[in-house]
Amino acid sequence: MAESFDRRTLLRRTAAAGVVLTVGGLFVSREVLNGDGDGSTEFGLLDERSPSVGSPVPDFVLPSFSGEPVRSEDFRGKTLVLNFWASWCPPCRAEMPDLQELWVERQERDDLVVLAVDFLAEDTIDAASGFVDEFELTFPVVTDTSDGDVAERYGVRGLPATFFIDRGGILRQISLGPVFGNLLPDGVAAADAAA
């Protein structure tokens, strides 16, 4: 009788442990998949700030083409050239080689990042991916999958739009339109000088 009691107790405790582990596993999975836990994969804006020259920019997380989250705040400590574009935009096509050249020139110093944000609300993944391949872009490229919320918060009304952000996350200069002529080097110099 004592032996059967010990077996029953062991079986009950094992079943209870199994239920606890299952419920715990479901909770953790729900938190991670829904972006409610620390391993958040929810995309979009991370704060309520609005950008203005001399102030901190809003932080965001957006997906790369492979679906990996890219957080703007991960580039703190480097000058950030944040460019909003779309594959159908002729001025975007015209300025991309200059952005790629800047990225290549500064890679050895590892003190600058070009981050290109495709305005997906008016583009398609296939067209944007083809654009990246066509121009052989090697800098980070993400898509604004938040229905354009990130572009809207940054005040993007037309494409392209480029924001020059210093190493501390402070907006130093804005170029609404293509960064032709001295606009790109001047914007980078303004962000670099503020460091």
Domain boundary assignment for the chain: 1-40, 44-193
Is residue 87 helix, strand or coil?
coil
**Single-letter amino acid, residue 80:** L
What pLDDT is attached to residue 20? 34
Which residue, 149, 152, 177, 174, is CA-closest to 163? 174
| Cα–Cα dist 87/119, whole Å | 9
The secondary structure of 17-37, three-state, reads: HHHHHHHHHHHHHHHHHHCCC
How many H-runs (helices) and E-runs (strands) does the chain carry?
5, 8
The pTM score is: 0.78
Query: What are the residues whose beta carbons fall under 8 Å from the beta carbon of 5, sequence distance 6 or more?
Result: none
Query: Under the phi-then-psi rule, with left for phi > 0, alpha for psi from -120 to 50, and beta for the rest, what region is 42?
Result: beta
Contact 180, 94 (CB under 8 A): yes
In CATH, what is the architecture of 44-193?
3-Layer(aba) Sandwich (3.40)
What pLDDT is attached to residue 2? 53
Tens digits of pLDDT across the chain (195 residues): 555 556 665 545 544 433 333 333 333 333 333 344 445 468 998 988 888 999 999 999 999 999 999 999 999 999 999 999 999 999 999 999 999 999 999 999 999 999 999 998 889 999 999 999 999 999 999 999 877 899 999 999 999 999 999 999 999 999 999 999 999 999 999 999 986
